[in-house]
Amino acid sequence: MIKKLLVLGAFALSLNTIAQVSHGGQPFNWSDKHVSASIQVETLPAIDLAALAAEDAVVDQYKEAPYRFGYEHETSFDVQSHGEWRNLGNGKMIWQLGIVCPEARSLNFKFEDFYLPKGAELFIWASDREEYMGSFNHLNNHESRVLTTSILQSGSAVVEVIADANVANQVSFTITQVVHGYRPVLLNHFAEFDADRGPYGTSGACNNNVNCPEGAAWQTEKRAVAIILDGGSAMCTGALVNNTANDGTPYFLTANHCWGGVTTSSVFIFNHEAATCSGTTGPTDQSISGCVLRAKNAGSDFCLVQLNSTPPASYNVQYSGWDASDNNNVINATGIHHPSGDIKKISFENDPLSQGTWSGAQTWNVAAWDNGITEPGSSGSPLFNQDHRIIGQLYGGGSACSGSVENGLGDSYGRFGISWNTGTTSATRLKDWLDPGNTGQLIIDGYPTGASTAALDAGASSISNVPASVCGSSVSPVVSMMNMGSTTLTSAVIQYSVNGGSTQTYNWTGSLSQYASTTINLPSVNLVNGANTITVTIVNPNNSTDENTANNSISVSCNAVVGPAANLGIAITLDNYPEETSWDLQLNGVVVASSNGTYASAGVGANINETLCIASGCYDFTIYDDFGDGICCSYGTGSYTVTNTDGSVLASGGSFTDQETTNVCVTVGVEEWTSQLSMYPNPAQNEVQLIGLPAKAFIQIIDISGKVVRTETTYSSNVRLGLDALSNGYYTVRVMVDNGVKNMPLIVKK
C-alpha cells in the first residue's frame, strides 16, 4: 500500500518516478522496505501557514501573478560537508542526506554548482519509499551548473549519490533551495481539497479541459504548451515555437512580465493535462530543467528562452507555427493555458480581434471570451489564430469565471508581429532566433506536424458497440467519423474487415461540417471463436482522395465465445488502496480477460463486480497487489470471490503478498461423450490410455498440489499418455472440450 508518514521510516516500494529528463536505474537497494537509521537528516523550520494564506488571498486575485504552492527555504547543504559517504564494497561509494520539512505536502529542490562525473548517479527518493526522481547523471550537467527538480509527493526525502569509487571525489553540488509545498500538488494525495483542484492549483468552473470535445481540433497545438515552475510557484504558461530551419531547436515563448519570476533554473512541464473532459489531474513527469534567455521586450511583452535540453521523443511535443505578418484579419482565436497553475485548459473567442495597447504594450485584444477564460498562471500562454498559428502571448486582462460561466470580460495578448522585428538587437526581437537563415518568412506552420488544414480529411475516431468479451458469433460495430478537413463532407466509403479477412464496404452520405462528428451503424460482422480484431478504414471522402491518411483507420479487439459459453463472476471488495489492485484470467498462458490496469479511479472499499463470458475450460485467475501486501487485512478488509455459472465458489481470498493464482474450471454442461470416456489401467505404471474422446480435446494431468504437470491436445478418439516423468502419487486427469470438462482420478504406482 501507499503509506504516508512525515518521518524517515520503513516502507515498501512503488516504482513511480517523476523528474526532469532522467536516465533510468533505481536508488540503492530500492527493493528493501527499510530505510537506514544512520542517514543524516536536516530538518527545516516549520512555516507560518496562516501568514502565507493571507498573502495568497491577495495575490491570487491578479492574473499577472503566479500561483504559489510552496515556501522557498534557502539552504546550503553541500556534498562535501553534509551527509556521509560510505563504501559499498563493490567498487561503489554512496552518499545520502535526509531532508525533512515538517507537515509539508511536497518537496522540490534546486542544486547549484552541480556537476556529476561519468560513473555517478543522483536520485531523490521519498522516505516512505513510494516514489523517486532519477537517475540524473553526467548528461544532466549544464554550463549553468544548475539542476532544478519537479515535485516529490512527500514531506521528507533522501538525496542519494551512487558513484564509482575512483570518481566520487569529483561529485559537486550544493542544495541551495528546498521548497516546502503547502498547497495541493497531487489531488489524489490530498482528498480534503476541493474536487476542482489540479496538481499545481485550482481554476474556475467555467474553464474547459483541453481534451473536452471542443478541443478536438487542437490536439496538435496543445502538445507545444507547458506550465512553468520556479521555486514554490507555478509562474506562467508558454509554448514551444518552430523556426524556419524546422530543426526542433527548443525555443519557448512566454511573456516578458513572467521573466521576473521565470529564471534560468525554472522547470517546464509538458503534457500536464487530464485525459478526459471531466478529469482533474494529469501527469507531471515530462519536464525539462533550466533555460537560457534569448530575447525579451516590454513593447509587446514577449520573452523567448531556449530550454537547456531538447524534449525527448517520448514527450511527443509540437513546435508551434506562427504568423508574424501582424495583419489585422484575425476572425477568431483560441488560447491554450494553465490557469492558476491548473491542468491544461482551452478558451475560444469566436469574433474578430482588434489591435490596441495594454499597459504600454502593443496587443491583440479579445473583447470577451465565448467559451472559457484565463486566470493568473495563464500569463505567457499562446494565442492562436484561425489558421492554428501563434499570433501572441497573454499579457493581462479582466476575464474570469462568474460561477460556472464567463464574466463577459476579455484579455490582451502581446502581438507576435510586433515582437518579430521591432527591437533593435537580437536580444530584443524574435527574428534573429526564429529565422536563423534570414529567409524573410513571416508565416510558418508547426513542426513536426504542420498546422495547415487539409480540405478533405475524413477521420475514424472510435469504434463502439464491440464489448471486450462477446457471447456469440457476431457483433454490429458503430464507427464514429469526424470531418477534420475544411470542406463539408457529403459522402464517404467505410471499409471494414475482421481478422484481416475480406473487406466489406458501407456507403455513407450526409452533411458534416469541419470538426463535426457522426456515428455510423455498420452491418453485423461474423466472429471466430477466440481473439478477433475488427478494422475500419474511411476512404473516398466526397468521391475524392483523402488528403490525410494518417487518421483513416482504427481497430478494436474482442474475444468471442462461439458456441456454449459459461458466465464467470468476479467480485472484489477493494481495500484502502484501490490503485494497487488488478487481475487477469489466462488460458494456457494467454490473457483472455483482465481489469485493464488497477482500480485507481474506484473509491476506497468499493465493490467491483464483473461477469465474463468464456468458453468451458480451466483457467488461471490471478489477482495482483502492486505493493505486495494483498488486499486484507492491514489496510482495509478487501476480499475477492470467483464464481461459476451456478454460483459455486471457484476461488476466494484477500490475504496474499504481490499476487495469488488459482486454477478455476467453468463448465456449460457435460454432454454424452463423458459417459463414453474411459481410462485404464488405473492404477497405472508407465502409461495410461484414454478411450472415447471427442474429435478434439485438451488434456491436463494435475498433481495433488494443483500444479499442471503435463498437457496435450489430441484429435484422436484414443490416446496414450506416458507417465515416466511422474512420481508415485495421486493425480487428476482433466479432459476439456468445447462443451464441457471431465475430471478423473489417477493413481501412479511404479
Tell me, rounded to whole angstroms, the distance of Cα 99 from its chain centroid: 29
Q: How far apart are CA 691 and CA 701, in angstroms?
A: 16
Catalytic positions: 257, 301, 379
Q: What are phi and psi of 267, to 5 degrees?
A: -115, 135
Contact 318, 221 (CB under 8 A): yes
Q: DSSP letter at 551?
A: G
Give the span between the Cα atoms of 395 and 407, in whole angstroms: 18
Q: What whole-number distance in Å separates Cα of residue 547 and Cα of residue 470?
A: 36
**Measured between alpha carbons, how far is 193 from 650 in angstroms, rounded to an integer?**
42
Q: Choose among 322, 509, 511, 347: nearest CA to 417.
A: 322
Question: What is the sign, positive or negative, of the torsion defined by CA atoms of 138, 139, 143, 144?
Answer: negative
3 state DSSP class of 613: strand
In whole angstroms, what is the distance from residue 14 CA to residue 4 CA? 13
In 627-731, alpha helices (H): 673-676
Alpha-carbon distance values, 675 to 225, 398, 616, 693 (Å): 69, 83, 18, 10
Q: Report strand pairing: 322-323 vs 333-337.
A: unpaired
CA 598 to CA 371: how far, in whole Å? 35
Task: Tell me 522's DSSP state.
Answer: P
DSSP, res 726: P
Please give the Cα distance from 106 to 40 (Å, whole number). Answer: 20
Q: What is the DSSP string of 478-500?
A: EEEEEE-SSSPEEEEEEEEEETT
| Cα–Cα nearest to 295, from 427, 163, 424, 172 | 427
| Contact of 99 with 42, CB cutoff 8 Å | yes
- Contact indicator for 107, 152 with CB cutoff of 8 Å: yes
Nearest CA to 596 among 461, 468, 464, 462?
468
Give the whole-angstrom CA distance, residue 472 versus residue 565: 9
Count CA atoms within 13 Å of residue 723 on its CB side: 27
Among 147, 146, 118, 152, residue whose Cα is nearest residue 133: 152
CA atoms of 406 and 376, how far apart (whole Å)? 15
CA 652 to chain CA mean position, Å: 32
- CA pair distance 309, 287, nearest whole angstrom: 10
